[in-house]
Amino acid sequence: MSSKRLPSETRIIRDVERVLAQSIPPAWSLKTKSETPGNGKRIDLLVEVTSPDGEIARFAIEVKRAIEPRSVPMAAEQISMLTTSTMPEAIPVIAAGYLSARTRELLNDFEVGYIDTTGNIRIESSAPGLFVLTQGANSDPWPQDVDLRSLRGRGAARAIRAITDTAPPFGTRELAGATSASAATVSRVLELLEREAIVTRQPRGPVLAVDWKAAIRRWAEDYDQTTSNTATTFLDPRGIPSIEKKLQATKLAYAATGAFAAQRFNPIAPARTATLYVDDVTKTADRLGLRETEAGANVVLLEPFDPVVFERATIRDGLRCVAPSQLAVDLLTGPGREPSQGEEILEWMQENEDVWRT
């Protein structure tokens, strides 16, 4: 049972009209018509947006109460074919109560516009020239409780790391055997990723394909570098070069992450902070001669949410760094400029897949 009832199609149509009217440019006008027939078929909602010069952009909108990412290819094809056959001048659009980030990404890939009642909108017309892109909710106001919806937690993190780092084909039990996550947890994570159109599975068989970039981005929605782990900030008076030398000489268990590690994969800009996963913050700070501080810190020691952060760590230019998949999610959810560095690491991973993926 869901925590809240999904809105009806009638309610969605009414709310879509409202959010569109609020989003079009000033001096433009909007007119809607519901249930427009065409050759025995039906367009749920036709929207006409008129420019100040009198030019009209028409949008043929297919309304869904809810749509999962894995349903996007069929839905996009259906609305595109319906529009072509009944109203070729109209631009196809999918509307729903809520569209997840992954659903919106896929609709964009299929060149189909989208609108949801929370204000997530992307519609475009070349004549008249119109482009509307607005941000609404990032989480579903009507979540369904029957399936796994989050990648929070140790088991889910272990599963997503294994799914990302392992080249298919592979089976659920095979993957669970390579991690300390249970087969049930791996199976539930795979089911979530299949709904999100991130993995492709043979019915009752192995995983055949994984969109690992999308898997990391999906994990980043439920993970955060500093809040998922326990962070303590320190100062090394001699700066980052001093930390590097100490780490190269130490036998302490650690794994560098964030911008500090990213330099070893794709040098972009000097790191201002050395971020390290360690198994004992007090012992590490003692050995490295660090002073705990909140102001002017240049070292962050992270007590990890799970030891999986140390798995598949590699030595790069004398520094032990987390695996690229862990580094990418840490950067995408990190402070300052780190999210943009995360994008650069994803590109590095794309070009060097044979290096980091088994």
Query: Per-residue confidence at 6, pLDDT binned at 50, 70, 90?
Result: confident
Please state, for a pLDDT cut of 90, what percent of the chain lies above it. Answer: 75
Classify residue 271: in a domain, yes or no.
Answer: yes
Contacts 24+ apart (CB under 8 A), 33-37: 36/60, 36/87
Q: Which residues contact 126 (CB under 8 A, 6 or more apart)?
A: none
How far CA 208 is from CA of 109, 169, 170, 204, in Å, comes to 21, 5, 7, 12
Query: Per-residue confidence at 142, pLDDT binned at 50, 70, 90?
Result: confident
Look at the block and give the residue holding tokens 């947006």.
Answer: 49
- Token output for 123: 């519609």
Question: Is residue 338 predicted with pLDDT exceeding 90?
Answer: yes
Question: How confident is the model over 48-84, as pLDDT tens digits?
Answer: 999 999 999 999 999 998 898 989 999 999 999 999 9
**Among 213, 215, 22, 2, residue whose Cα is nearest residue 136:** 22
Query: Per-residue confidence at 38, pLDDT binned at 50, 70, 90?
Result: low
Query: Per-residue confidence at 39, pLDDT binned at 50, 70, 90?
Result: low
Question: How confident is the model over 234-273, as pLDDT tens digits?
Answer: 999 999 999 999 999 988 999 999 999 999 998 877 899 9
Lowest-confidence pick of 84-88, 129-133, 308-312: 84-88
Classify residue 3: in a domain, yes or no.
Answer: no
Classify residue 53: in a domain, yes or no.
Answer: yes
Regarding whether 99 and 81 lie in a shared domain, the answer is: yes
Alpha-carbon distance 290 to 282, whole Å? Answer: 10
Q: What is the pTM of this model?
A: 0.74
pLDDT of amino acid 2 = 41
Regarding whether 299 and 201 lie in a shared domain, the answer is: no
Q: What's the total number of domains in the chain?
A: 3
Instruction: Find the mean pLDDT for residues 3-17.
Output: 84
Regarding whether 215 and 257 lie in a shared domain, the answer is: no
Instruction: Find the mean pLDDT for residues 180-187.
Output: 84
Alpha-carbon distance 230 to 228, whole Å? Answer: 7
Regarding whether 241 and 350 lie in a shared domain, the answer is: yes
pLDDT of amino acid 181 = 77
Tell me what the pLDDT averaged over the chain comes to: 91
Question: How confident is the model over 193-236, as pLDDT tens digits?
Answer: 999 999 999 887 899 999 999 999 999 999 999 899 999 999 99
CATH code of the domain containing 18? 3.40.1350
- Domain enclosing residue 62, as ranges: 9-134
Instruction: Find the mean pLDDT for residues 26-33.
Output: 92
Regarding whether 329 and 242 lie in a shared domain, the answer is: yes
pLDDT of amino acid 60 = 95
- Token output for 261: 């590690």
Angle at which helix 101-109 crosses helix 72-86, to 10 degrees, equals 50
Instruction: Find the mean pLDDT for residues 90-105.
Output: 95
Among the candidates 134, 165, 183, a domain finishes at 134
Regarding whether 214 and 235 lie in a shared domain, the answer is: no
Question: Is residue 40 predicted with pLDDT exceeding 80?
Answer: no
Classify residue 319: in a domain, yes or no.
Answer: yes
Provide the H-helix boundaries in the chain. Answer: 9-23, 72-86, 101-109, 154-165, 172-177, 183-195, 212-220, 240-249, 258-265, 281-288, 324-332, 338-351, 353-356
Please state, for a pLDDT cut of 70, what percent of the chain lies above it. Answer: 95
Among the candidates 172, 192, 220, a domain finishes at 220
Q: Which residues contact 353 (CB under 8 A, 6 or more apart)?
A: none
Classify residue 1: in a domain, yes or no.
Answer: no
Among the candidates 99, 134, 169, a domain finishes at 134
